[in-house]
Amino acid sequence: MHDSIISFFGFFKIVNFLFLIGFFIYFFRKKVVPSLDLKQRQEKEYKATLTNEYLSLRKERAEVLKALSLQDQQGKILLYRTQLWYDQVKKQVEIQNRERQATQELVKKYFELQSQKAVNEQLKKTLSQEVLCGLKNILIQQMESEQLHQECIEYALNKLKETVL
């Protein structure tokens, strides 16, 4: 009997052991597995969120780099255009300075010429009056006696006066 009791208790030990294993399996499946699944899903979602953020930041970085490159190109173009404009303005100023100098030279030459003409005219008037008077006196002295000579001299003097004045 003792053997049967031990075997009866051995049987209950095995049944209890199997019951405990079953209970742990049940508990594991009902509580631990869903909890692990939930953690695994949360971790996957977190990884997916991080991946999306990474991709979004990478895309944003690419856009920023593209915008930066575009701004750099536009800056270079603006610098080039500004340099062209500056060169053209510089050339235009040089041309205007040369034209101004040429105009000043022409005006200076014109005034010199006008002043020379005025001096020549004044000399011409002064000298022609003196020459006419001197010639008239000389011719009158030489040809005082003859009337015809007197008329010729007056005619010549009148013609000279007309051409000079």
Which ranges constitute the DSSP H helices of the chain? 2-27, 33-142, 147-164
Kindly state the average pLDDT of the residues 122-139. Answer: 72
d(CA 161, CA 163): 6
Q: What's the average model confidence in pLDDT over 59-65?
A: 96
Q: What is the biggest distance separating any 2 CA atoms in the chain, rounded to whole angstroms?
A: 207
Give percent above pLDDT 70 in the chain. Answer: 82
Whether residue 162 is predicted with pLDDT greater than 80 in this model: the reply is no
pLDDT band at 62 (very low <50, low <70, confident <90, very high): very high
Quick one: pLDDT band at residue 57, thresholds 50, 70, 90?
A: very high
Check residues 124 and 19 and name the one with the higher pLDDT.
19
